[in-house]
Structure formats: C-alpha cells, structure tokens
C-alpha cells in the first residue's frame, strides 16, 4: 500500500567536520520509489502542468484560477488531464499547498497561481505584457501582487508624470503622515525638484524655493494635525514676521476666506432659519455668550443656516470655529474640522484624560456662543457594542448642559420643497408616528417600490432604475445618484455588478495583507485576503477611469479629504491613483492617493493584529446608509434585502432624496402589495 512519500531529517553531531546544511538537506531527502520511477521515465505530468495544458486546450478554462479549477473541471487520473464538469461542483474545494515567504520562488509561484488565470506554462505565468520576467518574484512584483521595496518613491515618480507641484506636495505629505517611510531623506531629495516647479517660475534662489516648499508642506501637515518638526526634513528658517507669537490655530481660523455665495446666504433664510440666525447673532454681538441647539429634521437646512452664520461672523473679522464629530459632516462646512483634533479631545477617553483647553470662566464654554445642532431622528453616533440604552445615554440629550440650551426648531423641508406629501411622510417616519403593523413594520408607498418577483432579478431592476447604461459616461449623472443599503456585503455586491457594467480601461489593485508578530505564518496571506473588516477597503479593488469612489479615512478633512468624501477616478498608475473630489466645497480639486497601511478600527474583531496596505477607497455606486448621512443625493436607490437594523436608517435613506419620484426601494419581500420595512422606534431618544 502506498501512502504518499515523506521526508526524513538527520542530525549530524560531528563537531570538527564542516557542516554544509544545504547539501545535507539535499542528500537526506528521501525520494519514494514511485516518485523515482516517475522522474526516471519522464512522464512528468503534475497536477499543475496538466492545468497548464487544460488552459491551452479550453478557452473557458482560461478564466479560472488554479485553486478554483476543481469546481469546474475534474481530473482524470489515468490520462492525467482535466475534463470539464457537466455542472459546476461548488462543494469541491481546491487547495494549493502552503508556502512560507522564506521559501522564496516556491512562495511567489503560489502567489501568482492564486491571482493569475489562463497561464499555459511556467514561462507564461512569468509573462506580463509580452515580457518574460526571470523569476516568479519579479513577475509577482510587476503584477502588483507583492509589495516592492520602493513603492513610495515610485508613487511620487508616477505622480510626477501628470501632476502639478502643489498636488505632489500634498501627496508627499500624505506619505509622510500615513505611510511611515523609512528613508524620508531620499524621498525628499529625489522629488524636491518636481515639488518646487511652480515656485521656480518666479524665484531662482534655490534656498528660497526649498524654504517655500517646506513652508507649504508644514502648512499641510498642520492642517492634518501634525508638526513638521517631527519629520527628518530640512529646517525652516526662523522668520522675523509678526505672526510668531500668535497661536497657529488663530492664524488658521482667521485666514479662512468667506465665499461670496455664503456671504449672501442670510438673505435667503426662511422664517425659522431667520429667527434662529438672529437669536444666535444677538448673543455674539453683545458678547453675552449662549448655548443653542438647532433641531432640524433632515433637509430643513441646518447646514444652510450654519454656513450663513459662519460667513456673517467671519465677515465681521470674528472667529467662528466649525466642527463636527465626523469628517464628512465637517467637510460640508467652510473651514470645518473634526472636533477631536481641534479641541484636543482624546479619541479614547480614559480616567484622568483632560481636554487641552483651559477654563476661562465658570460659564459653560467660557461664556462663548456655542451652537449645537443635529437630528435625533437620524442614525446616532456609534457606541461600539453598545446597548440601545448606552447609545441613547451617549447622546447630547442626556448631557447636563442640555437644560441650559435654547432650543431652536427648523421645520420646513428645503431639500424637497415641491413634494409636501413626501416631507410629511418623512417626518412621520422620523418621528415614529407612521402607522405600523403588529411587527413594528411600516408600509412604503407603492410608487417608490421596485417589484420584487420571485425571478431573482429584483436587484438588476433596482440598478436599472437608478443607473441608465447610456448615461454612465457623464460624471454629473454618476455623482447625482447612489444606491444605499444597510450592510457592507450588500453594497459590495452592487458595486461589483456596476463596475462590470461600467465602460473603460480597468485596473485591479491587490492589497498587501499581514499580521503583526506571526513568524510561523499561521495566518497566510491567502486567508487574510479573504477578510474585509468594516471600514477597510477590499483585497481586490477593481477600478475604471471615471468610476465613482468614496474615501475611507480622514486624510486631510480641512482640505476635503475625509472619511466619506466622494471622488471620481481620473487616472491610475501602479502605486498612485489620481482622483477628483466631486461633492462639497472642495469639488473639482485633484488629489493623488497612495496605498496606506490600514488596521480595523475594532481591535477585538480578530485574535491577531491585522494590517492591510491598500488605497483607502471603495467604489461608491452603492454605499451604506450610515455613510450617506449628511449628503444630498438627488436620485436614491434603496436596497433592503432585510429590514433596517438600527435607529434612523430608513429615515436617513429616504431623506437623502429631493422628491418621491427620485426614490426607488427594493425590499426583501416578494409580495408586490406588501412592500414593507421594519421601523425601529425613535421614541427612545425623546
């Protein structure tokens, strides 16, 4: 009986003899009789070589990965060839023997087999764009499947090809902050010339130009909450200017320019907005200070009011600090910042932590005018693994300051001014007063429901009703619509369907995944690649020119690059993506995005420290309802294979649209007459 061959290891204990470990290893390798015969008679057909042959013979086989091959083909043992199955056998699991990165070429061969389809020989596997690479490692590197040594330098070089110097300086700064380069010095020296081209036009003094580049990088770093002193870059000359004693925060806030359009917003305020505006400004004018809470259901113009207030106060030469808890909410206000870095609030609050601001008087907030705002009907700030009670407890409503706040109410929906039935329906959904059945479910209007028949094509019908194939080329069309869903896996499913329908040149980026402190390779990359934790980009990111994407990290919120920013891909290189911001006040700005190391925000998600190096973006044909909060999306598709699962989700999804005619909903139920969705009560918060 033959049970497969094995290897024996022998230890040589003779001290004097010179030990050649490689030779010993080779000499003591035991070759079984069967393998010996197989070698001698040269019938060298391995499973892999027969896979190559199958690719040669069958066109269909060329689109299937080696590890997935047993699902579609069955191996005929005698003839040693692969035969197509009549029906795909999804229960068949292919497995490639594992290899440790230290095994060199064997490991890289495995990496290639896990990602490349259609190879007809070992040489074919090493061929990229007609060029045969000498080793599997080089082939894997050229395909972007393993991380090259100099990706950061390459990202800068690639960006130099088609970017202006200001964007290069921004990319350099992003690399400094997020990619932790080992050799900042070389990166600086190699790219200083390209980063200074715009300054060189008007100034020929090398030192002055270098100082200008450093100053600009220092400003960008500062807006990201970092100090240039903490990076090994040349020093900035001490200036004789008068601004040296003025805190940087004050210089920053006073240098925000008021947009002329914002300066005239106060003329268009509706009655409730005007009342709130006057009351707040009165306390600023008489320097009495005051606390306000603007309660406005979605679309009633909270943000519009803030923009009018900020423009008026800044126009008077006073300081108005605009902050929000999330990057995307901050980015829709001029000069908006996230609250934590601006007020030096620790992200994780432990006992004894203090905020970096000193108390000036006994009045709340030192007697300044402070305006809070929000909508308790919408999705509430997340308390990780929090119970309903804990989530409610974390809301402003439970703060001891709540009773000191003057309540200001906005009531008129300005997002959907021409659809009064819709605005009232929305309010009933938000307030929890819409009629429900015994299971707490509400009925959605039939006009907005996409029929979900048992034919399984409901999702395609929803996609077709939001995205017309003929208009996909128009960037304005693309950014005026989105499909919203509750869970990331639903969103990914729609995005994958959409990117396949989208026309254009394609680029696939694979992430580099690793686990800290895993010398024995217990968590091989193949396993790590299958994980997509919340908030992280996928392992395989498929992009096409002009496709919409959404940013997943707060890179530079002050300049519009925050978690939730929507962009369009304008170009791509191997190590950098050229993108354009398409919504908000920074709309039109071109940015270069590098790959950055990312970790899941929830430390307890895995029993190991997972790290993914990838572009921090996802496709955004579809996005989660939570991500859409705060955005106006003219045409909204809502995909709810299951009822919404948290407070405010249905209300947020519906209230993004400007009229009922522009909403389409697909629910999980197959009965056309009963399009319904579970309503999660809002009464908790009030």
Ligand X SMILES: Nc1ncnc2c1ncn2[C@@H]1O[C@H](COP(=O)(O)OP(=O)(O)OP(=O)(O)O)[C@@H](O)[C@H]1O
* Cα–Cα nearest to 639, from 617, 657, 613, 666: 666
Q: Minimum CB separation from ligand X for residue 132, in Å?
A: 55
Residue by residue, DSSP assigns 274-341 as: HHHHHHHHHHHHTT--EEEEEE--TTSSHHHHHHHHHHHHHHTT-----EESSHHHHHTSTT-EEHHH
Per CB under 6 A, which of residues 635..674 are in contact with ligand X?
655
Scanning 127-135, 203-211, 264-272, 556-564 for contacts with ligand X by CB under 6 A, the matching segment is: 264-272
Q: Minimum CB separation from ligand X for residue 266, in Å?
A: 10
- Helix (H) or strand (E) segment spanning residue 423: helix 420-431
Which residue among 181, 299, 335, 548 contacts ligand X (CB under 6 A)? 299
When asked if residue 268 is in the footprint of ligand X (CB under 6 A), the reply is yes
CA distance 209 to 293: 48
Which are the contacts of 547, defined by CB distance < 8 A and separation ≥ 6?
Answer: 478, 499, 502, 504, 568, 569, 619, 621
Q: Minimum CB separation from ligand X for residue 294, in Å?
A: 9
Question: CA dist 313 to 66, 259, 283, 642, Å?
Answer: 64, 13, 12, 46
Q: Look at phi and psi of residue 576 and say left if phi exceeds 0, alpha if psi is from -120 to 50, else beta.
A: beta
Which residue among 70, 298, 548, 571 contacts ligand X (CB under 6 A)? 298
* Cα–Cα nearest to 664, from 525, 522, 466, 481: 466
Nearer to ligand X, 119 or 305 (CB): 305
Nearer to ligand X, 273 or 546 (CB): 273
When asked if residue 303 is in the footprint of ligand X (CB under 6 A), the reply is yes
Q: Minimum CB separation from ligand X for residue 373, in Å?
A: 8
- Helix (H) or strand (E) segment spanning residue 637: strand 635-640
When asked if residue 612 is in the footprint of ligand X (CB under 6 A), the reply is no
When asked if residue 335 is in the footprint of ligand X (CB under 6 A), the reply is no
When asked if residue 415 is in the footprint of ligand X (CB under 6 A), the reply is yes
Which residue among 557, 630, 637, 648 contacts ligand X (CB under 6 A)? 630
User: What is the DSSP-derived secondary structure letter of residue 561?
Assistant: B
Helices (H), 446-583: 458-466, 475-479, 488-501, 525-529
Q: Minimum CB separation from ligand X for residue 304, in Å?
A: 4
Q: Minimum CB separation from ligand X for residue 634, in Å?
A: 10
Nearer to ligand X, 303 or 529 (CB): 303
* Cα–Cα nearest to 550, from 507, 579, 515, 587: 579
Nearer to ligand X, 299 or 571 (CB): 299
Q: Which single residue is written with the structure tokens 């086989």?
A: 61
Number of residues binding to ligand X, judged by CB under 6 A:
18
- Helix (H) or strand (E) segment spanning residue 154: helix 151-162
Q: Minimum CB separation from ligand X for residue 636, in Å?
A: 12
Scanning 229-237, 296-304, 440-448, 610-618 for contacts with ligand X by CB under 6 A, the matching segment is: 296-304
Per CB under 6 A, which of residues 372..391 are in contact with ligand X?
375
Which residue among 269, 391, 540, 599 contacts ligand X (CB under 6 A)? 269
Q: Minimum CB separation from ligand X for residue 660, in Å?
A: 16
When asked if residue 430 is in the footprint of ligand X (CB under 6 A), the reply is no
Nearer to ligand X, 265 or 555 (CB): 265
CA torsion sign, 659 to 660 to 666 to 669?
A: positive
State the residues that interact with ligand X by CB under 6 A: 268-270, 273, 296, 298-304, 375, 414-415, 630, 632, 655
């Amino acid at each position: 009986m033959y049970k497969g061959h094995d290897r024996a290891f022998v230890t040589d204990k003779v001290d004097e003899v010179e030990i050649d470990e490689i030779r010993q290893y080779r000499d003591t390798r035991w070759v079984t009789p069967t393998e010996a015969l197989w070698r001698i008679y040269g019938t060298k057909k391995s499973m892999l070589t027969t896979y190559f042959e199958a690719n040669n013979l069958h066109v269909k086989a060329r689109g299937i990965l080696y590890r997935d091959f047993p699902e579609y083909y069955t191996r005929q043992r005698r003839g040693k060839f692969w035969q197509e199955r009549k029906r795909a056998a999804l229960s068949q699991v292919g497995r490639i023997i594992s290899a440790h990165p230290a095994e060199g070429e064997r490991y890289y061969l495995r990496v290639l087999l896990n990602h490349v389809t259609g190879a007809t020989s070992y040489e074919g596997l090493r061929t990229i764009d007609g060029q045969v690479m000498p080793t599997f490692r080089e082939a894997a590197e050229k395909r972007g499947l393993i991380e090259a040594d100099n990706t950061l330098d390459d990202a800068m070089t690639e960006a130099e090809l088609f970017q202006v110097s200001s964007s290069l300086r921004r990319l350099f700064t992003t690399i400094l902050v997020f990619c932790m380069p080992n050799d900042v010095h070389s990166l600086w020296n190699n790219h200083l010339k390209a980063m200074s081209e715009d300054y060189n036009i008007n100034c020929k003094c090398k030192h002055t130009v270098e100082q200008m580049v450093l100053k600009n990088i220092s400003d960008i770093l500062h807006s990201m909450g970092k100090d240039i002193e903490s990076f090994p870059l040349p020093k900035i000359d001490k200036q004789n200017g008068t601004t040296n004693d003025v805190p940087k925060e004050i210089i920053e806030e006073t240098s925000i320019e008021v947009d002329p359009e914002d300066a005239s917003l106060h003329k268009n305020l509706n009655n409730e907005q005007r009342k709130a505006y006057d009351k707040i400004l009165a306390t600023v004018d008489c320097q009495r200070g005051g606390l306000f809470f603007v309660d406005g259901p979605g679309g009633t113009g909270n943000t519009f009011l803030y923009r009018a207030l900020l423009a008026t106060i800044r126009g008077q030469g006073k300081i108005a600090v605009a902050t929000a808890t999330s990057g995307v909410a901050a980015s829709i206000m001029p000069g908006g910042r996230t609250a934590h870095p601006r007020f030096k609030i620790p992200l994780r609050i432990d006992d004894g932590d203090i905020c970096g601001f000193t108390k000036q008087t006994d009045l709340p907030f030192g007697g300044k005018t402070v305006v809070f705002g929000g909508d308790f009907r919408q999705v509430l700030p997340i308390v990780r693994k929090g119970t309903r009670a804990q989530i409610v407890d974390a809301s402003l409503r439970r703060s001891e300051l709540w009773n000191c706040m003057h309540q200001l109410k906005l009531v008129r929906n300005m997002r959907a001014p021409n659809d009064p039935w819709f605005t009232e329906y929305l309010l009933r959904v938000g307030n929890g007063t819409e009629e429900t059945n015994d299971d707490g479910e509400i009925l959605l209007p039939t006009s907005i429901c996409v029929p979900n028949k048992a034919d399984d094509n409901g999702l395609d019908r929803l996609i077709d009703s939001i995205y017309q194939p003929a208009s996909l080329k128009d960037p304005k069309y693309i950014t005026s619509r989105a499909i919203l869903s509750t869970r990331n896996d639903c969103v990914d499913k729609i995005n994958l369907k959409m990117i396949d329908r989208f026309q254009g040149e394609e680029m696939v980026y694979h992430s580099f995944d690793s686990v800290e402190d895993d010398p024995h390779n217990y968590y091989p990359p193949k396993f790590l690649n299958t994980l997509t934790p919340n908030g992280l980009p996928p392992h395989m990111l498929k992009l096409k020119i002009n496709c919409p994407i959404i940013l997943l990290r707060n890179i530079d919120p002050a300049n519009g690059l925050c978690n939730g920013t929507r962009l369009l891909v304008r170009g791509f290189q191997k190590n950098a993506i050229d993108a354009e911001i398409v919504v908000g006040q920074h709309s039109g700005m071109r940015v270069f995005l590098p790959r950055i190391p990312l970790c899941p925000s929830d430390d307890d998600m895995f029993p190991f420290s997972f790290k993914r190096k990838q572009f921090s973006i996802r496709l955004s044909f579809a996005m989660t309802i939570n991500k859409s909060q705060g955005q106006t999306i003219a045409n909204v598709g809502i995909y709810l294979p299951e009822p919404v699962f948290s407070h405010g989700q249905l209300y947020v999804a519906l209230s993004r649209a400007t009229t009922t005619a522009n909403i389409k909903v697909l629910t999980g139920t197959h009965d056309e007459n009963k399009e319904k969705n579970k309503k999660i009560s809002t009464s908790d918060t009030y």
